[in-house]
Amino acid sequence: MLRIARKAYTKVIRQWRGVNQNQQNVKPFGVRGDKVKGRQLDAVGRITYCRISAMRTKILTFVVSAVVVFLPVCALGQAAQEFRDHPDIPKEWPKEPVRAAHGMVATDEPLASQAGVEILKRGGNAVDAAVATAFALAVVEPAAGNIGGGGFMLVRLANGKTNFFDYREMAPGKATREMYIKPDGKLDNQASTIGYRSVAVPGTVAGLALALKTHGTMKLADVMAPAIRYAQEGIPVTDKLVREFAEERKDLQRFSVSNRVFLNDGKYFQAGDTLKQPELAATLKRIAKNGPDEFYRGETAKMLTSDMAAQGGPITMEDLAKYEPKIREVLHASYSANGARWEVLSSPPPSSGGVAVIEALNMLQNVPLQGWDDPKSVHMVAEVMRRIFADRAAYLADPDYANVPVAGLTSPCYAQELLATINPVRASTSSEVRAGNPHVCTSGVSASVPPNTIISLGEGPHTTHFSVVDAAGNAVASTTTLNDSYGSHVTSTAGFLLNDEMDDFTTQPGVPNALFGLIQSEGNTIAPGKRPLSSMTPTMVLRDGQLSFVTGSPGGPTIISATLLTVINWMTLGMNAQTAINAPRFHHQWLPDQLFMEKLFSPEMEEQLRARGYSVKRRGHIGLVNAIGIDAKTGERCGAADPRDEGSAIGY
């Protein structure tokens, strides 16, 4: 069987090379020169302090439903999450990354990047700076930064040691498999997304404290100082915050503390006002003084559980006391490209992202991609995305509760079999693509779930990613979330927003999907102490054994596509860090059977892809990647914040 798969794989590659024989001089998007010959990083003089804030969009965002058109709630049993989109994007984007000789922090918010650099300048390492940055984001980016949510942190030290910190939220002890099903058997959509019943046990504070204890060099109080200062003294209200507050007003005003803090008690903030968060400042001070036990057993825990008891929420003191972050093994995969040996480090389950990215890169290893102005290249990657998302839907779950076939999904042999199913000139249909039978090269099927079941189709897109590299070469890639924008929209009396992560579980298991008749499996159903599946994909790339690229993105299921594309741009297409972030993005997640393309693509590209059989839907942007590359010649840190929003890369 393996021999047959290899023959089919070879046939696809030969067909691909054949249809591309007249395309060898096509230039990849944004890459100068006639051919791609490894990374093209322009060496410039070192500078002592660098900062870039990407162009700001001024137009109100609008909502695009990613799945609901094709997968009705009555069939899925779980409401499809919405993607918020900027209809217009800035015309003038930075063409070169920010360069610095020592350290670099790239985040969604300038104040958060400044907090990280402040710690680096004081002698802290990348983990110290990352923890400071994460706490700062809880103040300056309330839509996604948090202490009331959860996240993942990928750490690689200069000596090569790696760790993955999983502080994903957990279902509380009172959670039940059908807790969001009404007496009539229908799903209560709002109960899992808005209000106290949607909240899972937060993990951020425990996770950040564990990362700091394991790899940091500074005290918790010291790295939290910038966040406390921002909360106590206030931050400027930006156009972005004004826009967000307006978008979320309907739900924020339902909860008294949220209404007071973010809507100014109905008087509403204007750009240039100062947003002070005294209750949050007091909570951060208690955590800085007493450590994570303050959040899970102390006064803050008592305040949170009192809120829950008064409003019908499920979280108890016992739930908080039982929460534990986990240290998991990092996923590794090796590749050859442009005369170099590359290693990709990424996120293990309960993230689905690392498995999906490695599975995709395995399929694309010998596919001669030309760039994103070449429809054949877009086609091949889109078909790879379709297949990895079919597998994601069937097999990925919390590894503490399910047997996830990671070895099979990331096996090069299995990737060859999947690649052999791709027509190099025509789009597949998702009705004919099912999850495969993942197995390692020396054995048969290792999957634990029938390939005609769905575990999860995706989760909330409102997340934030940041990257940090210090002078010694230690690096952090971290993604954190409240799930939906502003989470449950509930702000506790302790001053922090609470997640709505319970909606990331399969909230109505066993219901057939109307479009394909697939049954939602038990793998991602609600159970006490369980972590929901996630797409968050903090990732790093090594070149010839040395740190080369740190990346990741927010965006729900599009996290996987955005992260994958930036890795391809850097490792395979040889783009510099900023060009790798600027390059146009596309996304296919199997269901719905649509190819999402950014508006950066030309009408001609859309037309050519439609001619190949794709149903194309345009998006203003896909993902918000904040990455750091390492110049192989100079060793400079090259910060690349995403210009699609208000990203900021700051170095020194």
pLDDT at residue 190 greater than cutoff 80: yes
Residues 500, 504, 505, 506, CA torsion sign: positive
pLDDT at residue 19 greater than cutoff 70: no
Residue 421 is among the residues annotated as catalytic for this protein = no
Q: What 3 state SS string does 317-361 have?
A: HHHHHHCCCEEECCEEEEEEECCEEEEEEECCCCECHHHHHHHHH
Q: Where are the alpha helices (DSSP H) in 481-574?
A: 558-571
Confidence band, pLDDT 50/70/90 cuts, at residue 157: very high
74 exposure class (CB count in 10 Å sphere: 0-12, 13-18, 19+): exposed
Give the pLDDT score at 609: 98
Give the pLDDT score at 505: 87
Give the pLDDT score at 90: 55
Q: For residue 436, which of 398, 412, 408, 397 has the smallest C-alpha distance? A: 408
Mean model confidence pLDDT for the chain: 86
pLDDT at residue 10 greater than cutoff 70: no
Give the pLDDT score at 138: 98
Confidence band, pLDDT 50/70/90 cuts, at residue 131: very high
Q: How many angstroms separate the Cα of 542 from the Cα of each of 40, 190, 402, 423, 632? A: 16, 43, 31, 32, 11
Q: What percent of the chain has pLDDT over 70?
A: 81
Q: What is the mean pLDDT of residues 402-408?
A: 93
Give the pLDDT score at 28: 34
Distance between CA 202 and CA 204 in Å, rounded? 6
The conformation of residue 26, written as its DSSP 8-state character, comes to P
Give the pLDDT score at 458: 53
Query: Of the residues 463, 537, 558, 563, which is catalytic?
Result: 463
pLDDT at residue 236 greater than cutoff 90: yes
Give the pLDDT score at 362: 98
Pair 109, 193: CB distance under 8 Å: no
Residues 263-300 have pLDDT tens digits of: 999 999 999 999 999 999 999 999 999 999 999 999 99
pTM: 0.87
pLDDT at residue 85 greater than cutoff 90: no
pLDDT at residue 3 greater than cutoff 70: no
Three-class SS state of 561: helix
Confidence band, pLDDT 50/70/90 cuts, at residue 91: low
Three-class SS state of 479: strand
Three-class SS state of 578: helix
All structural domains of the chain: 50-234+276-328+456-651 (3.60.20.40)
Give the pLDDT score at 323: 98
Give the pLDDT score at 273: 98
Most confident of 44-53, 355-364, 551-560: 355-364
Q: What is the mean pLDDT of residues 206-215?
A: 98
Give the pLDDT score at 189: 80
pLDDT at residue 44 greater than cutoff 50: no
- 229: Cβ–Cβ under 8 A, 6 or more apart, which residues? none
CB atoms within 10 A of CB 594: 18
Residues 557-582 have pLDDT tens digits of: 899 999 999 999 999 999 999 999 99
Q: What is the mean pLDDT of residues 299-306?
A: 98
The string of DSSP letters for 87-145 reads: SS--S---SS-EEESS-EEEESSHHHHHHHHHHHHTT--HHHHHHHHHHHHHHH-TTT-
pLDDT at residue 24 greater than cutoff 50: no
Name the more confident of 167 and 55: 167
Q: Which two tokens stand for residue 481?
A: 């979330």
Q: What is the mean pLDDT of residues 358-383?
A: 98
Pairing of strands 162-167, 453-454: unpaired
Pair 169, 501: CB distance under 8 Å: yes
93 exposure class (CB count in 10 Å sphere: 0-12, 13-18, 19+): middle
Q: Which two tokens stand for residue 300?
A: 């803050």
Interior/surface letters 297-307, b for 16+ CB within 10 angstroms, e for the rest = ebebbebbbeb
Give the pLDDT score at 82: 31
Confidence band, pLDDT 50/70/90 cuts, at residue 442: confident
pLDDT at residue 58 greater than cutoff 90: no
Strands across the sheet containing 595-598: 586-587, 595-598, 616-619
Give the pLDDT score at 33: 31
Residues 466-513 have pLDDT tens digits of: 999 999 999 999 999 999 999 999 999 999 999 999 988 888 776 654
Confidence band, pLDDT 50/70/90 cuts, at residue 59: very low
Distance between CA 300 and CA 224 in Å, rounded? 16
Distance between CA 329 and CA 141 in Å, rounded? 29
CB atoms within 10 A of CB 84: 17
The conformation of residue 170, written as its DSSP 8-state character, comes to B
Distance between CA 599 and CA 473 in Å, rounded? 36
Q: Which two tokens stand for residue 71?
A: 């997968």
Q: What 3 state SS string does 372-423 have?
A: CCCHHHHHHHHHHHHHHHHHHHHHCCCCCCCCCCHHHHCCHHHHHHHHCCCC
Distance between CA 574 and CA 425 in Å, rounded? 25
Q: Which two tokens stand for residue 56?
A: 């700001």
Interior/surface letters 225-251, b for 16+ CB within 10 angstroms, e for the rest = bbbbbbbbebbebbebbbbbbebbbeb
Give the pLDDT score at 416: 96
Confidence band, pLDDT 50/70/90 cuts, at residue 460: low
Q: Which two tokens stand for residue 223?
A: 């790295």
466's enclosing H/E stretch is strand 462-469
Most confident of 41-50, 138-147, 517-526: 138-147
Pair 518, 478: CB distance under 8 Å: no
